[in-house]
Every structure is written in C-alpha cells, then in structure tokens.
C-alpha cells in the first residue's frame, strides 16, 4: 500500500494542471519564426561566421481558439527546468509535467485582415532567459492588435536554435567562471552587439514588409514602433528610445539603468515597471539605481514614468511564474524556496497578468 500511495503521490505532483492563460485582446494569436543573417557583420564570438538571428513573431489573427494549440518550446522548457533545479535542488524528472504545457498561439496561421496594418513592438529578453520564455507577454500584446517581434541574442540567450537545427548555447556562465571583470567586459560588448542587432532587425522588417512572398507582408505599421525588454533587455529598450527616433514608446521590465544611459534625457514616452522584491534593488547599490532612474525621469520632463509592484521578484516578468504554476510540485516549490519570483506561483501569475495589462495600456496610448 505504501508503494502504491507513493506512486500515486509522484504522479499527482508531476501532473500538468495548468496551461498558459488565454490572451485578453480581441484577436487570436499566430506565431511564426524567421532566420536573419547580417552579411555586413561578423559574429564577435566566432569571427569565421556572420551574425545570425532567430526572430520569434507573434501577430493578430481571426482564429480565437478555445483550447491550447502549441506545445511550449522544448528548448525553453529545458532551460526553465534547469534553472528551477539549480534554485531548488529538486530532480528535473519530478518536474517533467511542465513539458506538457501548451499556449494558445497557432503556428503560421493567416494574419487578421481586420486592419490594413498593425503597430510593431520589438521584444528583447534578459541575460538569463530566451525569447520563447516571454510567450505570455508576446501573445497578450499581439492579441490587442500588434505585431510583436522578439529575437534571441546568440551566445547571450541560453539556447538559440536555427532552422537547420544548429544550436548556439549561451556563454554567460562560462564568462563568469573566468572572473567577474571578464564577464562584465563581455556583457558590455554583447550589449553593443545587441544594439546593432535591433537596428538590423528594424531595417530588415522594412525590406520584408515590401516582399509579397513574406507571411506578413505589408501588414507592419512602420510609423508606429515600440520596444519592450526585461532586465538587460530593458536597458536595450532605454538605449534605443534615446538614440533611434523610429521608436515611439518603450517599456523596461525591472531593468537597472546603465551608466551610458544615465545622461541622456528621454524625449520618447517610456515606462519602467519595477518589482520591489527584485534582487536589482537590494541594498545601497539597489537604492542608488532607483535614485538614478528617478533623476533621469525628472531630467526627461517626466516623459519617463514608473509602476511598482510590491510583491514581485525579478523572475515575475517572464514566463517563470506560469511554468511554476503548471504542476503541484512546482507550486509547492514556489511557496517555500526562492526561485526568483519571491512569492507564490499563484500570486506571481496575478502580478504577471497586471504587468502585461499595464504594458498593453501604455503601448495603446502611445502607438495607437
């Protein structure tokens, strides 16, 4: 009997209980990918090759499905399980129910014809996650009538998979092993590469939009473009809004201010959403970072605004809360072990929903 009860318990705690939430906009959501190669730049981490990028694009459709359609990206699940394991020491096989998680986006479905064109939001991941781990945010924004263009930064994203199944794994952990200063210098170099990536993506979208053979041709509103990023991706959003007037609005999700961003006032509407329990704002350095953000806001004639969530950790701003909430075991883990959301998975999911609503409302105000 004891063995039987043990087996039943393991089955129950591993079982997938929740898929991702439905998006709340008037549209269904399609998803597609696109491979870009910048023949004018060599890869800084491999000088024998050109810089390559994988885009993940969410867009509005007329198909609002009632059941989840697409299995969550396996590479993103692998990375998330490894992260939760590192934080909790719980064996990965006990959390394997997460692998059955599905989203409501439909692959390569036709874009909605309700509007002639849709505003664009460029979406940038942080230093730890990959762009597929922002699926809830991408789907939510797209469901309100946007084309959301996310991209993985090779060697910074944990896993970047190309159409021929080549994989580039992130180097951040390896750089940290070589020393704090080595990692800092490398991250700074990758930040500058990412700025060039975004410029390249913007230029490529203008070319693709004019090509009749492209899945989303002539549907991009190139006059109304926003940018959103989490953590290091939020710092990228800040920089692009300061330097590139093609961006009409920007959102940073729990992002510190970089020294090279601290001296340029904003002329573009910009929103910073902060998690008060995030490790970014702990101690004297964290307080100093917030003071710099406030000072930048004052110098920007209040073009920069803030929203604070009291019970939010740094990991609330991507799909981590939703993945933790999919099995009974990971729900329990989130209550007793710090896995970077700094609250229970249930409360973190509620905060994530509100963050996404604030982000959409801000873009609606400034891009529509």
Question: Which pLDDT tens digit goes with each residue over 108-152?
Answer: 999 998 878 999 999 999 998 999 999 999 999 999 999 999 999
Residue 25 has pLDDT above 60, yes or no: yes
Handedness of CA 338, 15, 161, 200 (dihedral sign): negative
Cβ–Cβ < 8 Å for 160, 56: no
Mean pLDDT of 176-183: 93
151's enclosing H/E stretch is strand 147-152
Instruction: Write the DSSP string, 263-278.
Output: TS---S-EEEEEETT-
For a pLDDT cut of 90, what percent of the chain falls above it? 73
Question: Which pLDDT tens digit goes with each residue over 321-361?
Answer: 999 998 888 898 898 888 999 999 999 999 999 999 999 99
Contacts with 336 (C-beta within 8 Å, 6 or more apart), sequence order: none
Mean pLDDT of 2-20: 56
pLDDT of residue 11: 52
Residue 17 has pLDDT above 80, yes or no: no
Residue 7 has pLDDT above 60, yes or no: no
74's enclosing H/E stretch is helix 74-88
The helix, strand and coil proportions of the chain, stated in percent and rounded to the nearest 5, come to 45, 25, 30
pLDDT of residue 9: 44
pLDDT of residue 12: 52
């Amino acid at each position: 009997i004891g063995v039987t009860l043990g087996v039943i318990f393991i089955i129950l705690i591993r079982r997938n209980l929740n898929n991702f939430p439905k998006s709340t906009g008037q549209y269904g959501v399609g998803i597609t990918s696109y491979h870009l190669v910048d023949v004018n730049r060599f890869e800084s981490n491999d000088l024998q090759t050109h810089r390559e990028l994988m885009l993940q694009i969410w867009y509005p459709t007329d198909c609002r499905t009632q059941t989840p359609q697409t299995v969550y990206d396996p590479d993103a699940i692998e990375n998330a399980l490894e992260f939760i394991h590192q934080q909790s020491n719980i064996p990965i096989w006990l959390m394997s129910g997460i692998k059955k998680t599905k989203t409501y986006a439909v692959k390569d479905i036709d874009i909605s014809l309700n509007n002639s064109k849709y505003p664009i939001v460029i979406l940038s991941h942080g230093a730890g996650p990959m762009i597929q781990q922002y699926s809830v945010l991408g789907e939510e924004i797209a469901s309100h009538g946007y084309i959301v263009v996310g991209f993985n930064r090779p060697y910074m994203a944990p896993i970047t998979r190309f159409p021929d199944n080549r994989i580039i794994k992130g180097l951040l952990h390896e750089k940290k092993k070589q020393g704090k200063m080595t990692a800092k210098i490398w991250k700074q170099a990758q930040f500058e590469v990412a700025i060039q990536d975004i410029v390249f993506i913007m230029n490529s979208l203008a070319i693709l939009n004019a090509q009749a053979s492209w899945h989303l041709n002539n549907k991009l509103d190139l006059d109304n473009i926003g940018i959103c990023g989490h953590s290091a991706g939020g710092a990228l959003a800040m920089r692009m809004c300061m330097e590139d007037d093609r961006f009409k609005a920007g959102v940073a999700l729990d992002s510190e201010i970089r020294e090279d961003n601290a001296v340029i006032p904003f002329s573009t509407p910009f929103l910073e959403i902060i998690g008060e329990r995030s490790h970014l704002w702990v101690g004297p350095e964290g307080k100093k970072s917030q003071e710099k953000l406030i000072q930048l806001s004052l110098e920007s004639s209040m073009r920069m605004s803030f929203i604070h969530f009291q019970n939010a950790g740094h990991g609330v701003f991507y799909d981590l809360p939703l993945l933790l909430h999919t099995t009974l075991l990971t729900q329990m883990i989130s209550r007793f072990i710090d896995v970077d959301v700094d609250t229970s998975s249930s409360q973190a999911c509620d905060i994530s929903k509100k963050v996404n609503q604030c982000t959409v409302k801000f873009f609606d105000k400034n891009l529509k």
